[in-house]
A and B are shown apart, each in its own frame.
Chain A
Amino acid sequence: MSLNALEMKDVSFSYNHQQVLEDINFTIEENDFVAIIGPNGGGKSTLLKIVLGLLTPDKGEVKVFGREPKKALDLVGYLPQHTHFDLDFPIDVFETVLMGRYHGMFKNYTSEDREIALQALKDVDMERYKDRQISRLSGGQMQRVLIARALAREPKLLLMDEPMASIDPEMQNSFYQLISHLKDRMALVLVSHDVGTVSMHVDKIACLNQKLYYHGPAEEAGEGLEEIYHCSIEHISHGIPHRVLRKH
């Protein structure tokens, strides 16, 4: 019997006395490709941070491959929103990816670490940029580098926070192509407020706005619309093609 990549049972989290997540029950199986969709402020990033062990829930149980989140860090890759980076930072592409191989104080990166980092760069087709300083990358290239950094960890669960937010629309297809290749190696979780394009690519959708409203196959998301409506549809559908959403 294989372990689920992620199990959340009755997880609640509040911040400054404000309920952010309420009684979340959520399971991700190995090699699932799940999108968590919801409005900004609906708790998507908070959920990711709980899975990463950066935040501790007020109540409920979180298991990542059967372990406490903090004890499962070596199995989890993370692609943050990269808007917060100082691109002028003195670091090149290879060093950035190598950080994914960090395994403790006083431990040098081994030649194996370097090979894995290089392979991760090959996986995202960025090998030829390995010595380039990060400010000289385009948004899409930078994102590939950050994916490589997450892959260098050799994760079994890859968490991606709003990966669409920072790249051009024409880059989005190549992004999906890239990560669809990863599906047989790991479970993928993608967080987005953009329901339109996401639903065409993922297997399952979860709809989150403080509570988890719908969780199931992407193609049935349309039928689950009545439930999804609860999650403040004006926010999620505003200004994007209504591919999933029928008239409302």
Chain B
Amino acid sequence: MFEFIQYDFMQRAFIAAILVSVACGAVGTYVVIKKIVSMSGAISHAAFGGVGLGYLLGVNPVVAAIPFSIVAALSMGAVQEKVKISEDTAIGILWSVGMALGIIFVNLKSGYAPDLFSYLFGSILTVSNTDLYIMLVLDLIILMVVFLFRREFMGVSFDEEFSKVVGLPSTLINMLLLALIALSVVVLIKVVGIILLIALLAIPAAICKQYTYDIHKLMISSTIIGAILTSLGLILAFIFNLSSGATIILVLGAALFISYFIHE
């Protein structure tokens, strides 16, 4: 039954499942408690511009997505600070403009883009060693930043106005959090793809938030739950020969649904 574990690609897939869960636990928790799920969705879609740019320039699309999605996230933050445009509108615009850019970049590169779909819908079974290293490094950066700025992230998430009043640089911290979301997006791209990843980022924390009010427990339990559910989705996708990204998301969705009823 568990013969699949012998395959190299399956081992890499399970490692990837653990690596994405770290990002989900650390950053997904803030995304959920600060209620910036849609904004994170916009950042993830904008990352497609980076993937397209990667194709155009002939560099690893995941690597190209790192600066691109950070810039997209920061411009989102800047728009909110400076321009009189509602957050809701800005989210919608970033969402589709980023994707449109990606499509044009791919157009500009002559020839067929063979694995474009894997960036859109994920393909955890084709994760390479390079991908794993990138994910690992990004995870470490994320964990370090979360550790260093935990008080500030907590402050701006709970009560931004009061944070300013005690001298916390809230604009800077909000920007930093958006940049962290961008990094998490990149960690998740290969596993579930740009279109599906917001659910992976948010659902583990959304499940665990029902059971704990301690942010540290929330982060740790989200990471564990994320790893278990992602692995379960991976196994089901393998056994039933289904698209891995979509299966993982459906497993997460079903788990959220069940956890809600258990909690009630």
Using a CB–CB cutoff of 8 Å, the interface residues on chain A facing chain B are 52-54, 73-74, 76, 78, 80, 85-86, 88-92, 95-96, 99-100, 102-106, 109, 133, 135, 149, 153
- A-B contacts counted at CB < 8 A amount to 69
Given A90-B215, A90-B218, A73 and B35 contact (CB-CB distance below 8 Å): no
Residue of B152, B157, B162 most packed against chain A (CB within 10 A): B162
Bound CA span A149–B165, Å: 12
Contact sample, A vs B, 29 pairs, CB 8 Å cutoff: A52-B165, A54-B165, A73-B165, A73-B166, A73-B167, A74-B167, A78-B162, A80-B159, A80-B162, A86-B35, A88-B209, A90-B33, A90-B212, A90-B214, A91-B215, A92-B213, A99-B154, A99-B155, A99-B162, A99-B163, A100-B166, A102-B155, A102-B166, A103-B166, A103-B167, A105-B152, A106-B148, A109-B151, A135-B213
The residues of B that contact A88 with a CB separation of less than 8 Å are: 209
Q: Which residue of A lies closest to B160 (CB)?
A: A84
For residue B81, CB closer than 8 A to chain A, the reply is: no
Q: Is the interface of A mostly helix, strand, loop or mixed?
A: loop
Q: Does B168 have its Cβ within 8 Å of any Cβ on chain A?
A: yes
Whether A104 contacts B158 by the Cβ 8 Å rule is no
Residues of chain B contacted by A135 (CB below 8 angstroms): 213
CB neighbours of A103 from chain B (8 A): 166-167
Q: A133 and B213 in contact (CB under 8 A), knowing A80-B162, A99-B155, A149-B162? A: yes
* Smallest Cβ-Cβ distance to A135: which chain B residue: B213
Q: Contact: B151 with A102, CB < 8 Å?
A: yes
CA distance A145 to B162 in the complex (A): 14
Residue among A73, A78, A99, A104 facing the most chain B CB atoms (10 A cut-off): A99
A80 to B159, CA, bound (A): 10
Closest to B213 in A: A133
- Report the bound CA distance from A96 to B155 in whole Å: 9
| Contact partners of A54 in chain B: CB under 8 A | 161, 164-165
- The verdict on A78 contacting B165 (CB below 8 Å), with A89-B158, A90-B218, A99-B155 known, is yes
20 more A-B contacts (CB under 8 A) besides A74-B167, A106-B148? A54-B164, A73-B166, A73-B167, A86-B33, A88-B209, A89-B158, A90-B209, A90-B213, A90-B214, A91-B154, A91-B215, A95-B154, A96-B158, A99-B159, A102-B155, A102-B163, A102-B167, A104-B167, A135-B213, A149-B162
Q: Is the CB of A91 within 8 A of B166?
A: no
Instruction: Assess whether B133 is interfacial by the CB under 8 Å rule.
Output: no
- Interface membership of chain B positions 59-97, coded 1 if the CB is closer than 8 angstroms to chain A and 0 otherwise: 000000000000000000000000000000000000000
Residue of A nearest to B32 (CB): A90
Q: Of all chain A residues, which has the CB nearest B210?
A: A88
Bound together, the chains give a CA A54 to CA B161 distance in angstroms of: 8
- Asked whether A91 lies within 8 Å of B165 as measured between CB atoms, the reply is no
**Closest chain B residue to A52, Cβ basis:** B165
Shortest beta-carbon distance from A47 to chain B in Å:
15
Of the candidates A89, A92, A99, which one forms a contact with B166 in the assembled complex, judged by CB atoms under 8 Å apart?
A99
Q: In the bound complex, do residue A153 and residue B166 qualify as a contact, i.e. CB atoms below 8 Å apart? A: yes
* A89 near B155: Cβ-Cβ < 8 Å: no
In whole Å, how far is A143's beta carbon from the nearest beta carbon of chain B?
A: 14
Chain B residues whose C-beta falls within 8 Å of the C-beta of A100 in the assembled complex: 166
B149 on interface, CB distance cutoff 8 Å: yes
User: How many Å lie between the Cα of A90 and that of B166 in the bound state?
Assistant: 20
Do A105 and B169 touch across chains, with their CB atoms under 8 A apart? yes
User: Which single member of A76, A105, A109 contacts B165 (CB below 8 Å)?
Assistant: A76
Instruction: Establish whether residues B149 and A105, one from each chain, have CB atoms under 8 Å apart when the complex forms.
Output: yes
CB-CB contacts of B177-215 with A at 8 A, as 1s and 0s?
Answer: 000000000000000000000000000000001001111
| Bound complex: CA A27 to CA B149 (Å) | 38
Cross-interface CB contact of B168 among A92, A102, A149, cutoff 8 Å: A102
Contacts A78-B162, A80-B162, A103-B167 given; indicate if A89 touches B157 (C-beta within 8 A). Answer: yes
Q: In the assembled complex, how far is the CB of residue B84 from the closest CB belonging to chain A, in whole angstroms?
A: 9
